[in-house]
Amino acid sequence: MITQRTDDPEKAARWLRAGDCVAFPTETVYGLGANALNADAVAKIFEAKGRPADNPLIVHVASVEQVEQVAQNLSSAAWALLRAFSPGPLTCVVHKRDDVPEVTTAGLDTVGVRIPSLPVAQAFLTACAVPVAAPSANQSGRPSPTTWEAVRYDLDGRIRGILIGPQSPTGIESTVIDTTTRPPVVLRPGAVSVEEARRVVPDLTIADSVEQEKRSPGTRHRHYAPDATVELASAAEAVPGAEAAFLGLNAPTQSGSWGHVVLARDLPDYAARLYAALRQFDAEDLARIVCEPVEPTGLGRALMDRLRRAAGHASGETPSDAAAEADEAP
């Protein structure tokens, strides 16, 4: 298969409506989309990515009005969150309609729904005129792609096409909130902070068990991981080396040389540059990547979740804890 590229959302939508997989940009990461109501098309996503079939997909639509194409019996919390943060990096887990195929939801009776804000994503989804199931557009286990070039590197020859757009400005996947429970539960921290969401739903809680997280797209099977070993260490603790890279907010202080140092301006810049930096360090054949931890509040909660998973640790655990299993979804 020859993977075609276009910057025309209408052309990319025609490929998708024909039953093919199409990668497209969002404000979080690039997604790999297929018609969410076409089981055969959705199955191509799993084949292209090498994604485990027990991992549910997020369904993307162009507007709040379209949510009920795949969802039913939405709670007041779901409507409040969707109206407050959509379009944007929020996924609400809601009760699915009966005509949503099991392959899309991994057999669950719920579905995650999101409305991306990036203009090219909006144009693409509007042109598709069907709900679009999409995890991140990478081979399963790799860092999520934030550029179309990263998509091409992972999936060239595996999918019909790539809709070319800008680098994803947020760089961290959406926040996933299960609104079918009382109280609603944050299943995956993301670009909408817990603190922001609680201003809309004050009784919001955070998942405290693996069983809760299994209801979320993007929290099964280890992912976010480059080929290099990822370590978490402060700027003062980071051990330099010619084979090592450092990524963080503050310059490392120990004497010695580094293979590559990337310093972010602030927390949003750190999040936006994370996946691209991990991929760049792999391309440079660096053996170690040292990432500086941040305070796990606000956006830092989501960033620390991704850093811990990249380092092979379960979300919420310290670097000495057991390895996590997760997979990606925009």
3-state secondary structure of 277: helix
188 annotated ligand binder: yes
**What phi and psi, each to the nearest 5 degrees, are found at residue 145?**
-90, 135
110 annotated ligand binder: yes
224 annotated ligand binder: yes
35 is written with which tokens? Answer: 């018609």
136 annotated ligand binder: yes
| Residue 37 DSSP label | T
Write out the E strands in the chain: 4-6, 22-24, 31-35, 58-60, 90-95, 110-114, 132-133, 161-163, 175-178, 185-188, 205-206, 229-232, 241-248, 258-263, 288-291
16 is written with which tokens? Answer: 């998708």
134 annotated ligand binder: yes
249 within 8 A of 292, measured Cβ to Cβ: yes
Cis ω on the peptide bond leading into residue 202 (within 30° of 0)? Answer: no
84 annotated ligand binder: no
250 annotated ligand binder: no
Q: Where are the alpha helices (DSSP H) in 214-259?
A: none
Angle between helices 148-155 and 267-283 (to 10 degrees): 40
**What phi and psi, each to the nearest 5 degrees, are found at residue 73?**
55, 45
Q: Which residues of 46-72 are buried (b: 16+ CB within 10 A; e: fewer)?
A: bebbebeeebbbbbbbbeeebbebbbe
221 annotated ligand binder: no
Instruction: Give the strands of the sheet with 4-6, arranged side by side.
Output: 4-6, 161-163, 22-24, 31-35, 132-133, 58-60, 110-114, 90-95, 175-178, 185-188, 205-206
35 within 8 A of 130, measured Cβ to Cβ: yes
Cis ω on the peptide bond leading into residue 268 (within 30° of 0)? Answer: no
51 annotated ligand binder: yes
Residues contributing to the annotated binding site for L-threonine: 28, 60, 114, 134, 174
List, as residue ranges, the binding site for ATP: 51, 55, 110, 136, 144, 188, 224
Binding-site residue set: 28, 51, 55, 60, 110, 114, 134, 136, 144, 174, 188, 224
